[in-house]
Chains A and B, each alone.
Chain A
Amino acid sequence: MKNKGNVFSLIPYYAWIILFVIAPIILVGYYSLLDLDGHFTLMNYKQFFTSVYLQMTLSSFWYAFLITFFTLLISYPTAYLITKLKHKQLWLILIIIPSWINLLLKTYAFIGIFGNKGPINSFFNWIGLGDQQILFTSFSFVFVSVYIFIPFMILPIYNSLDKLNPALMDAAKDLGASRLTTFRRVIIPLTADGIKAGIQAVFIPALSLFMITRLIAGNKVITLGTAIEQQFLVTQNWGMGSTIAVFLIIVMFIIMFLTGSKEKGEARNGKTK
Chain B
Amino acid sequence: MEKLSKTSKLYLTFVMVVLYAPIFFLIFYSFNSGGSMTNFKSFTLTHYKAIFEDDRLMVILINTIIVALLSALLSTVIGTLGAIGIKSIRNRKFRNTILSMNNVLIVSPDVIIGASFLILFTMVGIKLGFLSVLLAHIAFSIPIVVIMVLPKLNEMSNSLIDAAKDLGASKRDILTRVILPYIKPGIFAGFFMALTYSLDDFAVTFFVTGNGFSTLSVEIYSMARAGVSLTINALSGLVFFVTIILVLGYHFLTLRKTKGVRN
Contacts and interface: CB of A to CB of B under 8 A. Distances in A.
Interface of A: 1-3, 5-6, 9-10, 12-13, 16-17, 19-25, 27-28, 74, 77-78, 81-82, 84-87, 89-90, 93-106, 108-110, 112-113, 147, 150-152, 155-156, 158-160, 162-163, 193-194, 196-197, 200-201, 204-205, 207-208, 210, 225, 228-229, 232-233, 238, 241-242, 245, 248-249, 252-253, 256-257, 260, 263-264, 267, 270-271
A16 B23 contact: no
B220 A113 contact: no
Given A82-B12, A97-B240, A155-B192, 7 more contacts: A1-B158, A13-B81, A24-B113, A151-B192, A233-B111, A248-B107, A249-B104
Given A87-B251, A197-B150, A159 B186 contact: yes
Given A99-B200, A113-B25, A193-B155, A205 B106 contact: yes
Contacts of A104: 202, 217, 220-221, 224, 228
B216 interface: yes
Interface in B191-224: 192-193, 195-196, 199-200, 202, 216-217, 220-221, 224
Contacts of B58: none
Contacts of B139: 16, 19-20
Contacts of B174: 5
B38 interface: yes
Nearest to A258: B96
Given A23-B116, A102-B216, A193-B151, A17 B228 contact: no
A100 B171 contact: no
B103 A200 contact: yes
B26 A96 contact: no
Interface in B118-160: 119-120, 138-140, 142, 144, 147-148, 150-152, 154-155, 157-158
In the A-B complex, the 8 residue pairs with the closest CB atoms: A13-B82, A109-B22, A193-B151, A10-B85, A24-B116, A5-B171, A20-B139, A9-B81
Contacts, number: 270
B81 A24 contact: no
A193 B110 CA distance: 27
B117 A102 contact: no
Nearest to B186: A159
Contact of B112 (A99, A205, A241, A253): A241
Interface string B46-60: 000000000000000
Sorting the interface of chain B by its residue count into under 10, 10 to 19, 20 to 34 or 35 or more gives 35 or more
B38 A160 contact: no
B15 A78 contact: yes
Looking at B12, B92, B117, B221, which has the most chain A CB atoms within 10 Å of its CB? B12
Contact of A245 (B79, B109, B119): B109
A96 B196 contact: yes
Contacts of B138: 16
Given A1-B87, A23-B116, A225 B4 contact: no
Nearest to A113: B25
B109 A90 contact: no
A160 B155 CA distance: 8
Contacts of B144: 152, 201
A156 B12 contact: no
A13 B112 contact: no
B1 interface: yes
B12 A159 contact: no
B219 to A, nearest CB: 9
